[in-house]
Amino acid sequence: MSVYSGLTDPAARPNILCDLRSDTVTRPDAAMRRAMAAAEVGDDVYGDDPEVNLLQAELAAMLGKEAGLFVPSGTQGNLVAIMCHCGRGDEVIVGADYHVFHDEAAGASVLAGVALHPLPLTATGGLAPDAIRRALRPDDPHYPVSRLLSLENTVGGRAIPLDDMRASAAAAREAGLAVHLDGARFFNAITALGCPATDLAGLADTVSVCLSKGLGAPVGSVLAGPAGLIDRARRHRKILGGGMRQAGVLAAAGRHALRHHVAGLAADHARARTFADALAALGAGRVRCETNMVFFTPADGANAHLRKRLSERGLLIGGGSGEIRMVLHRDIDDAGLAHAIAAFRAHYGG
């Protein structure tokens, strides 16, 4: 079964009371829907959508960047950034478990002609400065040209310490590389690290921030960086089919999320810890917790059976074998958390 598979019987979905597959499953609440309905819109390809323009400017300012670009997805935001920083035949140094290398279908290579050079992660989820230096290509026509270091935070839910990020970025800059940050869960990272947005964003030339994960907007990410680079990014977005028209209804959701949902991420993290502690007390498998994510490896290996029985109790978890990722998000309140814990206890007899 695919990790993205849900219930085998769609008719059973209304009986699901708690969905822990991902924080991408959140749905706009009433206040966000009102903001979307009230949005003033225009044609964003012409630069005429007021809500899009405000979203881009506001998030760029939050990150300490000159400009922003609204894109349909974080994957497109990362690819557009790579296309701005690199030419065909250039190379990106990236973590082997980072989304850009592991989960974006090799788009940088397929669509941009850019090579990806994966490095192993350190114990904190970062990239060792010495490993970055060793990965740099010599000036030799046999090799691609090292152009960009692509970082990520959070990684598998783990917030990488700022000092580790600084050291990685410094190693890249010493060699003349640009730095991109995949900040799909950027605000989860700074919530866990307890730092201002500019402290993390300032380590990179460009940052991609997703609005449709923990922040709860239905669609979209923003790529932020220098104004000249963002001008080029707009062209690349168009090439990739990401130019949108009256996108203000989506941008309004993102603006609402930035104003009202960032503070709630700390509660998601706290509920994840409570959930992890409850699972650990069952003694049914290995448990670890990172920000808003709980990872559970059933000792009996019966993942499919567990998934089926939990769905019968109104709890939906992800597919796959081995470690199961479960994500707390704004649609899971204290009652939802209690339901999830009770479903696991009922299954394991805890």
Are 287 and 192 in a shared domain? no
CA-based R_g, the chain, Å? 21
Q: Which residues contact 119 (CB under 8 A, 6 or more apart)?
A: 93, 94, 95, 96, 127, 128, 131, 132, 135
Are 241 and 273 in a shared domain? no
Q: Is 97 among the domain residues?
A: yes
What are 91's strand-pairing partners? 115, 146
d(CA 186, CA 209): 6
Specify whether the CB–CB gap between 187 and 214 falls below 8 A: yes
Domain range spanning residue 220? 42-246
CATH no. for residue 111?
A: 3.40.640.10
pLDDT of residue 14: 54
What pTM value is reported for the model?
Answer: 0.95
Are 237 and 280 in a shared domain? no
pLDDT of residue 347: 97
Are 110 and 224 in a shared domain? yes
Q: Is 253 among the domain residues?
A: no
Q: Interior CA angle at 193 toward 190 and 195, to 5°?
A: 60
Are 235 and 286 in a shared domain? no
Q: Is 34 among the domain residues?
A: no
Q: Which residues contact 235 (CB under 8 A, 6 or more apart)?
A: none
Q: Interior CA angle at 125 toward 143 and 82, to 5°?
A: 40
CATH no. for residue 338?
A: 3.90.1150.10
pLDDT of residue 320: 86
Q: Is 251 among the domain residues?
A: no
Are 89 and 146 in a shared domain? yes
Are 84 and 178 in a shared domain? yes
Say what the alpha-carbon torsion angle 65, 71, 77, 79 is, to the nearest 10 degrees: -130
pLDDT of residue 4: 47
Are 155 and 195 in a shared domain? yes
Assign 69 to helix, strand or coil.
Answer: strand
Mean pLDDT by 10-residue block, N- to C-terminus, for the chain (350 residues)? 45 75 97 98 97 98 98 98 98 98 97 98 98 96 97 98 98 98 98 98 98 97 98 98 97 98 98 98 98 98 96 94 97 97 94
Are 172 and 285 in a shared domain? no
Are 236 and 290 in a shared domain? no
Are 216 and 285 in a shared domain? no
Burial of 350 (0-12, 13-18, 19+ CB in 10 A): middle
pLDDT tens for each residue of 112-155: 999 999 999 999 999 999 999 999 999 999 999 999 999 999 99
